[in-house]
Amino acid sequence: MFRCLVFFSIISSSVFSQRLVEATIVDKETKKPVPFASIGIIGTSKGTSSNLNGQFSISINETDSIRITCVGYESLSLGATQLLPSIDLTPIVTQLSEIVILDRAINAKRVLRRAFANIDINYNNRPFLQQFFYRHYCKDGAAYGRLIEAAIDVWKTSGYRTVQHAAGEKEEIRVTQLRRSLDKTEMAQGHDPISVGNILQADIVAYQTDKRSEHMSFYTDVSNLRTDFDKYDFLCKGITYYDGLEVYEITYQNKKDSVLTTTGKYLDLVDIKGTLFITTGGYAFVRTEEHKSYGTNSLLTSTFYRKVNDRYYPYHFIRQGESEYADKRVHSVHLELMSMEIKTDPTIKIVGQLPNREALLSISYDSTFWKSNSILKTTPLEDDIIRDLGGGVSLDKQFLRYHQFEMNTRDGGVNGEEKFKWLLADTKGNRMLYLLVWAGNFKSYLVDVELAKRLQKKYRNKVTFVFLSLEDDEKRWNEVVEKFSLYTDGIINYRIGSRSKTAASLAISEAPGFMLLTRDGEMIRPTKRPSDPSLEEDLLKLIGQK
């Protein structure tokens, strides 16, 4: 028997008797956290869910009541005045298929087909707006290297009337609030600026591949259960309960898939297995889980749904995966999307699309918003993130610095001298700078340019590589930067011009020029060029100094 214990603490009060309530849901016997339980305010579409550590926070009024639901447990409703230090959720044991007494055996395939056929009945098939909280973090080994959080509006123009093949096809997507750290991971240059589409596509009710696949793929973000139905084996394990309803627990596994290699041997492809929780009455998906693996790569996807006004909506998506570098170090990623509110008023419409890097840069960090809104609880992450990403600097300061950094490094052709001065001040005391000065046609030292790119990729978390151009013509500068891919691998580019005060202060009179500045801003003279093999020895020596 399992029991859930919810421990509440009132941490603040505000006008209209609203309180921010924090809770930790743990198993009473094992003391392990219970993640991803649904917590909703009764009579509204507002809610939250517990995080990986079983914690959640939600703002409620004195007159509010909340409802806690979790697959395998009896649902529980509590008024604001009934919040006790400990609350038991009564467990319901899953009835295994071997001992369930039914008129006939449960046909798992038939159940799943009915579930897909009933999507337009169980889910809102009219336009609606859903507001989400988004979190994305990456780690290299045990160290955090990236954090992004956002408030996102998704307007489904056709509701769940038709299945989509990619996010953004029949919906408007708008990022309204954003906070993020600098990206210190080894994969930084390959990262999307934000992965909203990826995590939205964890919703198997809304998204399915558009055509049958010859071979299963590890890298697709969209489910192929409906399209490649015959490539899976299904089994009904039994019946459990969710929110007072009987629920089928159906497992699936892809059939063995392999390809013939040029060596004459067969190579096993992706392995996919998962579990679907589908109501026995209306055949609605209430929870889905899928695990994919391919070599050293793995990806776990979980999706949770809850009923609001007789229709089901997703309330939490989670995707977390791991991949291995050539040197056996592990890169991991965690994505999640949590519903905060649903609005079905047809007059509420938004316009937007999946944002690119430029669109995200137009969203400034609003610390007031993040302090005043109930979001997926951050406590388990904050201490480690502050340590790994900012060297002890608060998250607020990290988010502000990110925005300043992006604004001062994204386009060095405009006000390049001023932006370079900002970079000098920002990195002093923290990082080394390697400067490569170029002008006009640099074919005579193109090897140094290319080797500088390689060094940047190797030492990017220790040394900032900057290309300073003496080019006076901005159009010409843009042409050269694009032609020779000077932004490749995160190189920072500035056009300071031949007659600038910066060129004079650094005693730059011609190109090429090479300069190495220590963390304290001290110039190393003479500075070796990238084509000199002993430059790496100098970098390693300085990196090792505290």
Which pLDDT tens digit goes with each residue over 362-416?
898 888 888 777 665 554 566 677 777 766 677 788 888 888 888 898 888 889 9
Mean predicted confidence (pLDDT) in 190-199: 88
Using alpha carbons, select from 544, 545, 509, 512 the residue that is nearest to residue 531: 512
What is residue 275's predicted lDDT score, i.e. its pLDDT? 97
- 411-543 has which CATH code? 3.40.30.10
Residues in the chain: 546
Please state which of the ranges 85-94, 222-231, 310-319 shows the lowest mean pLDDT: 85-94
User: Is pLDDT of 1 > 70?
Assistant: no
Using alpha carbons, select from 247, 253, 152, 252 the residue that is nearest to residue 194: 152
* Distance (Å, whole) CA 468 – CA 486: 11
Q: Are 249 and 289 in contact (CB under 8 A)?
A: no
Triad 249, 250, 253: Cα angle to 5°: 145
Using alpha carbons, select from 134, 131, 132 the residue that is nearest to residue 195: 134
Most confident region among 113-117, 165-169, 238-242, 255-259 by mean pLDDT: 113-117
Our CA dihedral for 50, 52, 54, 60, rounded to 10 degrees, sits at -30
Q: Say what percent of the chain tops pLDDT 90.
A: 42
What is residue 389's predicted lDDT score, i.e. its pLDDT? 77
Residues 6 or more apart in contact with residue 46 via CB below 8 angstroms: 40, 340, 341
* Distance (Å, whole) CA 367 – CA 384: 20
What is residue 71's predicted lDDT score, i.e. its pLDDT? 84
What is residue 93's predicted lDDT score, i.e. its pLDDT? 67
What is residue 5's predicted lDDT score, i.e. its pLDDT? 45
Structure tokens at 395: 């998250």
Q: Encode pLDDT of 437-449 as tens digits.
A: 999 778 889 999 9
Determine the residue type at 5: L
Rounded to a whole number of angstroms, the CA Rg of the chain reads 27
What is residue 546's predicted lDDT score, i.e. its pLDDT? 45
Q: Encode pLDDT of 146-193 as tens digits.
A: 889 999 999 999 999 888 999 988 899 999 999 888 887 877 766 788
What is residue 377's predicted lDDT score, i.e. its pLDDT? 56
Token look-up 């013509």 returns 473
Q: Tell me the β-bridge partners of 319.
A: 301, 335
What is residue 347's predicted lDDT score, i.e. its pLDDT? 85
Mean predicted confidence (pLDDT) in 199-206: 95
Q: Are 316 and 292 in contact (CB under 8 A)?
A: no
pLDDT higher at 187 or 484: 484
User: Is pLDDT of 262 > 90?
Assistant: no
- 4-92 has which CATH code? 2.60.40.1120
Our CA dihedral for 445, 448, 452, 458, rounded to 10 degrees, sits at 160
Mean predicted confidence (pLDDT) in 469-474: 92
User: Is pLDDT of 4 > 90?
Assistant: no
